Structure formats: structure tokens, C-alpha cells
Structure 1
Amino acid sequence: MARQARRVPRVQRAHPARSAPRAERRAHDRPRAVTVLVIGEALVDVVQREGGDPEPHAGGSPFNVAVGLARLDVPTLLAAQVGDDAYGDLLREHLYDSEVGLERLDPVPTRTSSAVATLAEDGSASYDFDLTWDPAALPDAADFEAVHVGSLGTALEPGAALVAGLVVSADVLGIPVSYDPNVRLSVEPDASVWRGVFDTIAPHATIIKMSDEDAATLFPGEEPVAVVRRLAADHGIVAMTRGADGAVVGAGDVLVEVPPAEVRLVDTIGAGDSFMAAMLSWCATYEWPSADELDATELRDLAMYASSAAAITCSRPGADPPRTRDLTP
């Protein structure tokens, strides 16, 4: 309840500025007053729909989270490896249009990472990846209010070790760390690797989001609600998305369940990333509250806001997260 006085409307958050014409803007330009550093893969999803031609979409879980954050008015920098090819141009253009800063990590890959996404009848997607993740260095966590990591960037070596080191540094500095394991067994089929990554990153994270599919790999045999309850007791704010069963969000000893928002489903690509971005936007707006500062009403507000963002993404083809105006009544 003491946090009420600190709250500010989302619309007061400053947008990152477009400081130069598109052709002149350098790839490593940062938006002003960057709030969140997002680290990980940026790739092109080549979406294959039944009976249709392949459709290239900008994607990658950290990439989608960065775009989602910026569209919700949180100044964001994405640190990723992006090549000087047509796919790289597509990614840079998409970041520019959403006002996301890009720090291109060396070495620059000869080709930008990609994933072929094949859609099932229920709108879910399976992926076949062609990836590069071997950054030589990462930005300094001390320059940001919060850090988000997850997915392949935390699991694929040699880059994963750098990410883990940055997470530890952020934790030591008291900087909030957000983590989405986003397990991809098609890239790393050994479930024990993903469990090891979780055990490395999660102790330093204050915000964790996962899907029920992630949980089935990381914690086989455990009920989703029990997983959230256990993790929330140890790690702060924890959310689990469960598709048609909605979402469960916990903070300390408080737990809420929310139903999915009703929507005309196109596909589920990027829905979890939009949920993650909306969670972080909510936390940024309310000055990164700790778990013990949230009551059930506030936690439900967070969960409903994030679920609405995910639902809007499900109503659009590809990973296309909402903007603030889409979520404002």
C-alpha cells in the first residue's frame, strides 16, 4: 500500500528520441535514458503457413521482448549479433520503427540468424533454427535500471557464459534481472542443459516468466501452480503462461490465476514474449517493486495487463506486440 504514492501514469514515460534520419542512424545508437538492457538472439522467423508462401518476420525471443518494451514506452537497448545482410536489414528496420536501440555485438556474423517456423492447426509453432551466438563482450549492466535475459542466449555457448556473468554482476549491483528460460529442445535437445541454465540464472533473477511447456522440461511431474508457488517463495515475481488455461503469477506468498483474454486466434508466435514485455513495463512503471511490496490486487493487475498484451499478439500474424494505445481502455 505504501507504493501508491510512487505510481505514475504510463503515459508520462518518455519515449526514446529519433535523433537522425533513418539512413544516417548508426546501428549502435541508443535511445535516450535507456531503462532496460535486453540481451540475446535476434533472428528472422520464416513462417510457413499451410498452403502459403514463406513469410519472413523479425523475431527471436529477446528481440521480441525488446520491441514489446519499447512499444509500451520503456526505453530499451537490445544487445545482439546482427549481420550485414538482407535479414539484418529487416531486423534493424523493425527495431528502428519501434524505437529500440541496437548494440551490435562483435563479431558481426556473416549471416543473420534465422528460424523456420511451421504452424500447426491450433496456431502453435515449431521451429528449426540456424543460429550464431558468440559475442566477444556485452554492455555493462551498471548502465541500466534492469536487465532481461533468456532463451537461446542463456543456453548456447560460448555466449551463454558471458550472459551468466553479466547476470551475476547485475545481481551484485542490486539491478533487477528478468529471466525467461524459453526452452528450445529443437536447438539443445538435452533437457539437463536447460535445467542447468535455470539453476545458474534463476538465483540471480527477481522476475521469472516461463510457459507450462518450459516447466514440463525444467520440473517434470510438478503441477504448474505448485511450480509457481515454490519459485515465487524464493525468486520474487514469477509468472507461468498456460495457453488456453490462462496464467498463474506469484510474488512471495501471494498467488493469482487469470483466464486468457478472448481473442480471434491467428497464431501464438511471440505471445509469451509480449507477456514478458508487458510484465516488465508494469514493473518499470511502478519502479521495480519487490515481491513483498505486491498484494493480490496489484499482482492481478500485472497478470491481466500482461495477458492482454499476449492476447493482442495472438490476434496478429507473427510476433507483433501491442503499443500502449492498444492496451489503454
Structure 2
Amino acid sequence: MDAIANVNMKLLQTFLAVAEQGSFRLAAETLHRSHSAISAQIMQLEAQLDVRLFERTTRNVKLTEEGLQLHDSAQRALYELQLGLRRIRESADIKRGQLSLAASSNLASIYLPKVLAEFVETHPQIAVTVSELTSRELFEAVRNKKVDFAIGPETDDDTLNFETILIEPLLALVPTRFAAAQRDSITLGELVRLPVLLSSSATAIRNCLEAALREQGLSIASRFQFIQAQTLIAMAEAGLGVAILPASSLTKAHAPTARIIPIVPAIRRKMALITLPNQKLSPAAARLADKIVRDVREAANYHPA
């Protein structure tokens, strides 16, 4: 029992290397040790176990019956040990560290507060940095690895990986001073004849709207452009013009001076978790990304097929 207790991991690793290479010389090269050191360690292991582990010839070495038994046992033990160490490391990484993400202003204000508050409460040692960016800036932040991942609009950009978390329609917020505010729905053709407040060209909402306009051969001329959804809502509620925004953004519109009206045919936008293709997130970042995907889908009632 005492001899077996003295068998250490280094001896077993050397034994496995010789068994897998079928050669003391090749095992020495693999482990970056001398041939004599490898031979000495195998002899030490055989002495401790009081069995021969290899049949040695001038050309190669072959496992004995006892060597085969040890080989199977050592492989299983080493695998379990490595698995346990990896789980311990991942658990530690999840509990501490830092991560950064970028998000569009709409998602940042509507969906992330509750998610981040819960995450920070359960992972107090992780420092989370959030950058609120336009879609153009957000994509560049992911490409340049300035953030671990982003939450923003889904596009056809094949340099990025998108995992859809919600799909929602764009709606029109029409001031009640316009007759169109009494309608149950409104077309793009009717909208372009009204004063329209546009999102900045750097936003995905603007790109989504312009794509729909091009399909119908329409265009909009506007004197006003804004980045923040809340600013567009305030301007529409003041009667300045019609704001076109995602349904989630318009949950903040409550003034009786403007009315939310569906656009027909519907214009929908997708929002997604954005990463680089084949990117492996750190354990902490992966944990937060999974929570965002799960919680936003639940809040938005989005269930991917």
C-alpha cells in the first residue's frame, strides 16, 4: 500500500507517453526530457508496483498484461482529474473577472436593466462594462474586439455571428393633430406625405425603414433626425412630426397628444446577440450572454423555431 501511495502523477504521465508512443526515445522527445530520465522513471514505477509494465526489444516496447491494465486505469484517472480541474477553473472564472458588452440604446434601456441587476447581484466579483452605441459603432466594437459581445440589430453581415433574441414591428407614433392619427393602420405611401421624424442614418432603424421604402419606390425628406428613441417620442408627442420606432421603444409613449398606429404591410426588425464567428466567450461572458438571450426572449415572448 505504501509503495502504491508513492506513485505520483509525473510517473503516470511518463508511463502513458511511453505506452502511446511505443518508444522510450519518442516519449522523451514528446516530454522534452532525456532518454535516460524516461527509462529511470519507468523503472521507478515498475519497482514501486513490483511488476513489469513493458516488454522491451531492440526495436520497440510493448505493454505487458499488467501494463495494459494500468494504461486503461491511468487514462481514466487522468481524464477525470483534468475534467475536475477544468470545472474548478471555469467555476472560478465565472465568479470573478471582468467583461464588456455593447448594446443599442433601445435594448439597453428596456431589457438590460433587470438582466444586469440580477447578474451583478449573483456575480458581485465580476466587473461588467456596458457601452451604449449606434449599430455602426456596435458592429465595429465587436470586430475590433473592444467588447466581448454585443446586443443589437441583426443584419446580413457575414463577418459577424447573430443569434436572434427578438423580432418586432416598426410602428408609427402619429401626433393627434394629423387626421391620420384616427386611422387603425397606415401605409408607407401615406406616411411619406406627412412630416416624418427620422432616426440617424447610423442607426439600424433608419436602415430598416429605408430598405422598406426602396422596395416600394418611395423616399422621405425630413428636416429632423435624432439618435435616441426617447427624443423621437418627445418630438412626436409635441406635434412636430411622425416618429417611426420599434414596438418596444413605444412602450415609453404615453402622452395623449400622439397615437401609436401599425404600419401596413408590417416592417419588422430583428435584434440579436452579436459575436465574432467561432468566438469562444470567457465563462463569465458566456454566462451573461446566455442570461440575456434567455431573459430577453422570455420578455419579448419570442420562441425561435
Q: Same fold (TM over 0.5)?
A: no
TM range (shorter): under 0.3
The TM-score normalised by the length of structure 2 is 0.25
| Structure with the larger helix share | 2
The TM-score normalised by the length of structure 1 is 0.24
Q: Find the structure with the greater CA-based Rg.
A: 2
